[in-house]
Amino acid sequence: MTASKVDECVEAERPARVVDVQGEFCPRPIIETARAVKAVEVGQVVLVLGTDKGIHSDMPAWCRATGHELIDLQEREGIIEVRVRRAH
């Protein structure tokens, strides 16, 4: 892969918006994610940072229901990081 292709891939995954809902509980993480996804362009990524364990099940369900792409969901040191790409 050429350097320009790598740069394109990195740029495609760079979040256009970050949603920090640490300390917030359902339904706030989903509400704020929905607002952020509506505010970005199709194909752009939203990064969600949360602490509510419900995000592990709620975010994949929301993505399936809305048709947006769940790129990644992982937890590190108590912080849940979710990347969602706007699909439409």
78 φ/ψ sector (left φ>0, alpha ψ -120 to 50, else beta): left
Assign 16 to helix, strand or coil.
strand
Query: Is 7 contained in some domain?
Result: no
Query: Is 68 contained in some domain?
Result: yes
Query: Is 9 contained in some domain?
Result: no
Q: What is the CA radius of gyration of the chain?
A: 13
CATH of the domain at 19: 3.30.110.40
Assign 77 to helix, strand or coil.
coil
List, by residue number, the catalytic residues.
Answer: 26
Residue-number span of the structural domain to which 33 is assigned: 15-85
Tell me the pLDDT tens digit for each residue of 63-77: 999 999 999 999 999
Total of domains in the chain: 1
Query: Is 8 contained in some domain?
Result: no
- Computed from CA positions of residues 33, 36, 40, 45, in that sequence, does the dihedral angle turn out positive or negative? negative
Query: Is 20 contained in some domain?
Result: yes
Tell me the pLDDT tens digit for each residue of 10-28: 566 899 999 999 999 999 9
